Amino acid sequence: MTARIGVVTFPGTLDDRDTRRAVRVAGAEAVPLWHRDKDLKQVDAVVLPGGFSYGDYLRAGAISRFSPVMESVIAQAKDGMPVLGICNGFQVLTETHLLPGAMLRNESLHFVCREQKLRVENADTAWTTDYTAGQEISVPLKNIDGRYVADARTLDMLEAEGRVAFRYLARGEAADGYGNPNGSLRDIAGITNEAGNVVGLMPHPEHAVEPLIGTGRTDGLGFFTSILKKLVNA
């Protein structure tokens, strides 16, 4: 049976088609989900892709959090369904409190678009098992509200429980894709919930799944092959 992975489209979503393509490249069936529809069409997992849902009015992801589809996503995620939030999707996950913390305007106050070096910190989530802890990968990043923040107690909890999934690599020069691009606390690029089924990150793995497009690398493909293997072996 082919795994079915839903990809949600909100008004202002930009990367839904790229994400559906990444799902297909990995070997799963990509199922379009519209934000006004509560029906998840019996998908096995959901991706909230990047973009500027509702124009990022109020706060990035703040309005999308109340879309009818999110009522179903929240309920299913709490029951263990795998959910991946990429960029704006990560912002939506923090607004729903499926993931702790918040996303603020980049420290530079500028939009950042570049290839970004990351270190995989947690290779045990539903979306990261095809990586190894400590592995360095490179995927595109593009955001203006990408600064991850949380209070010290929450940050300490994430660190202690191994819930920092990805971290920006601090060594090297920014021009080479190194460094913290947005001022995220403790260089956090992505986190997971306690159960490991919900993951959010700011960089865009869906733009790095084929050698002929995006960065010319396939470092992002592991997200989609990881979830496919989990679903097939479940």
**Closest to 215 measured CA to CA, from 156, 109, 142, 148:** 142
Cβ contact 53:61 at 8 Å: yes
206 catalytic per annotation: yes
110 catalytic per annotation: no
Q: Which residue among 35, 95, 115, 204 is the active-site one?
A: 204
Q: Which residue among 115, 121, 206, 207 is the active-site one?
A: 206
DSSP letters, 68-121, are HHHHHHHHHHHTT--EEEETHHHHHHHHTTSS-SEEE--TTSS-EEEEEEEEE-
Q: Which residues of 66-99 are buried (b: 16+ CB within 10 A; e: fewer)?
A: ebebbebbbebbeeebbbbbbbbbbbbbbbbebb
Q: Which residue among 35, 87, 95, 115 is the active-site one?
A: 87
159 catalytic per annotation: no
The catalytic residue positions are 87, 204, 206
